[in-house]
Amino acid sequence: MADQPISIHIVASDGHGERLDAWCAGRLPGLLTRNAVKKALKRGEITVDGVVEPSHRFLQEGQTVRQLEPSTPAPKVFPFDVPVVFEDDYVAVLHKPAGLRVNGPAWRTLENTLPHNLAPSALPQALRVPRVAHRLDLPTQGLVACAKTPEALVGLGWAFQRREVRKTYVALALGKLEGQGSEQPIDGRTASTTWEVLSHSRCLKCPEGWLTTVRLHPHTGRRHQLRRHLAQAGHPILGDTAYTPDDVPVLQGKGLHLAAVRLELAHPVTGEALDIRIDEPPKFASFRARETRRWHKHHPETP
């Protein structure tokens, strides 16, 4: 069994009586799902008061949960180039392309590209391989934060869990979206998104002839929250095959037009304020321009 702790946590009162796998998922660095937690438990990489417990064990307030450095061989590196937007010896932020999984059992993941794309940390306490610190959906492109040291991994994990990271997305929404956001619950849980309309443009294929470019800020982290909130508002994201009604065109094969373009957070080790940004994907502007030309070709009399 590995014996180098990545993180140490004391179960608070709000965790009393919660299943071990549910409590750990999203709280322990790099373990974003209950399935990932169960696999780590089977490998002996998580202990409760020094003992490896089954995933269904119910926790008690005051217990100590330790996450240990994996003892298994590091996964084979996936030699795929991903743009690095920010990097130091503790953390890095990369621009994940659409269609690449963040992590998981597959080999072709962003996490397995990290040794290929990042410089090794010069610090003696560096992780064997860098680790991804949060989720980004498979079809969504944009910024993903990663850690090179246990301290940075814990800090990033807590920052995302406590919603101390301000995330900004840009999307192309079908129709003429208005308003400032949504508080509609998702799967029975509170969910909050605010948005700012950046522009309305003409679109021959879109409902009522309109397309909306919108900037979005999720204030909670529900699964597919932005996609579901816009779909609930009647304005699904262009290319969203999961949440667009069957009678609305989604541009099959063109991909989801949603991108994580900005992360604002405190550096998990130095405390420095980081404001990391990328531009909207070029295909967004190309689609707007192409559809505007097509609209005016077929409707020369309208604005």
**Model confidence pLDDT, tens digit, residues 14-25:** 889 999 999 988
**Does 133 fall in a domain?**
yes
Residue 96 has pLDDT above 50, yes or no: yes
User: Domain end: 36, 68, 100, which one?
Assistant: 68
CA atoms of 98 and 300, how far apart (whole Å): 35
Supply the pTM of this predicted model: 0.81
**Residue 222 is part of a domain; what is its CATH number?**
3.30.70
The pLDDT assigned to 2 comes to 46
The lowest-confidence range among 45-49, 170-174, 263-267 is: 45-49
In the chain, the number of structural domains is: 3
Q: Report the mean per-residue pLDDT for the chain.
A: 91
Whole domain around residue 59: which residue ranges? 5-68
The burial class, CB within 10 Å (0-12 / 13-18 / 19+), for 279 is: exposed
How many Cα atoms sit within 13 Å of 36 on the Cβ side? Answer: 19
Q: Which of 214, 205, 223, 213 is nearest to 295 (CA)?
A: 205
Boundary residue ending a domain (35, 68, 101) = 68
Structure confidence at residue 183 (pLDDT)? 94
* Same domain flag for 87 and 117: yes
* For residues 58-67, average pLDDT: 91
Spatial separation of the C-alpha atoms in residues 167 and 262, rounded to whole Å: 6
Residue 143 half-sphere exposure, CB side, CA atoms within 13 Å? 26
End-of-domain residue from the set 129, 146, 162: 162
Across 45-111, the runs of DSSP E, i.e. the strands, are 46-48, 64-68, 84-87, 91-96
Residues 210, 144 share a domain: no
Count CA atoms within 13 Å of residue 77 on its CB side: 12
Q: Is the pLDDT of residue 126 over 50?
A: yes
Distance, CA of 132 to CA of 145 (rounded, Å): 6
CB 20 within 8 A of CB 54: yes
> What is the mean pLDDT of the segment spanning 253-271?
95
In a domain, 272, yes or no: no
Residue 214 has pLDDT above 80, yes or no: yes
The arithmetic mean of pLDDT across residues 158-176, rounded, is 94
pLDDT of residue 104: 81
